[in-house]
Amino acid sequence: MRAIFFLAFIFMSASLVAAPKKPTTLMQVRVSNQKVHHSYAVQKTTDSKPQHVLVFKDGKKKAQKVPLTEGQAISLLTHARDILWERDYRRKPAAAQKTCREYAKLGATSMKPSTICYEDAPSARQTERLLNILHGLAKR
């Protein structure tokens, strides 16, 4: 009986020590169309010291994780924020679209993921650029 308690104690303490903190998602972007189903997320883990990672998912394949420097993570987060701020707060009147064909879904910390439409050319172009940077990093 003492051995069972001892084993239970070992398991409990091991799980307490090893329980990883849930990573914080700084930004994420998803593109899903006839050709590709890609999603990218920049995450920050704070297990010991802050570490950043790019999580790339291609369809149903296993997610790929690529370590990022802090500078890369901040730059990607800033890029996403800029696209959303530019779109929401500095939109030219002509850019207000009546229809929306989804190009991508984009989110950044403390901002809800939102749809980037093909019809919103400046946002779509910037999102395409962000996706190219993310893809380049994921494929290194």
Partner 1 sequence: MAKKLTPILLAALLCFLSPLAPAQQACTVCSWEVPSAPNTSADPCEDLAAYACSSTRSPISRIDVRADEIRVQALTDGVAALGYSSFGEALVGQLNQVGVELREGQNPAALQGAALAGWVTGVEFKDVKDCADNLRTSTSRAEFRMEEHIESFVKAYAAHLPSFVEGMGTFCQSMSCPMTPIELRRAAVDIYRLQGTPEYLGKARELTGQFRDILQRYYESAPGSICNDLNQQLTAATASIIRGFTDTVSASRHTIESILGEYYTSERRARAQAIFEAARSDVKDFVAVLGADAPTRAQVLEQYDNMRIHWREAPSESEYTPHQGLQVYDPGAFNPDDVYGFGLTFFTSKNATYSPGMTIGVSEHTESIDIHPVMLLEMDENPFLLLQVMAHELGHKLGPQVSRLNGHDLSPKWEELLQCFRGAGSIRMMESQKEEVISDYIAAEVMARHLAQLPKEQRLGALAAASQYSCQAEGGLPRLNHVGSHPDDYLRLSGIYGANPSLRRVLSCEKDSTKFKSCGLEDSLLDAAISSQQGEAGAPSSFDRSGGVQ
Looking at 46-92, which runs of residues are DSSP E strands?
Answer: 51-58, 64-68
| 125 is a contact residue toward partner 1 (CB under 8 A) | yes
In angstroms, the Cα distances linking 70 to 3, 45, 59, 67, 106 are 46, 11, 27, 10, 20
Which of the residues 14 through 43 are near partner 1 (CB under 8 A)? 35
Which of the residues 84 through 113 are near partner 1 (CB under 8 A)? 85, 89-90, 108-111
Minimum separation from the CB atom of position 4 to partner 1 (A): 43
Find the binder of partner 1 among 33, 46, 115, 132 (CB under 8 A): 132
Starting from the edge strand earliest in sequence, which strands make up the sheet with 37-45, in order?
64-68, 51-58, 37-45, 24-32, 102-108, 111-117
**Rounded (10°) angle between helices 70-89 and 121-138:** 170
Minimum separation from the CB atom of position 20 to partner 1 (A): 22
User: 8 or 67, CB closer to partner 1?
Assistant: 67
Helix (H, G, I), strand (E, B) or coil at 55: strand
User: 2 or 139, CB closer to partner 1?
Assistant: 139
User: 18 or 71, CB closer to partner 1?
Assistant: 71
Which of the residues 51 through 80 are near partner 1 (CB under 8 A)? 58-59, 69-72, 74-79
Q: What phi and psi, each to the nearest 5 degrees, are found at residue 18?
A: -80, -15
DSSP letters for 86-101: HHHHS--GGG--S---
Binding site for partner 1 (CB under 8 A): 35, 58-59, 69-72, 74-79, 81-82, 85, 89-90, 108-111, 118-119, 121, 124-125, 129, 132-133, 136
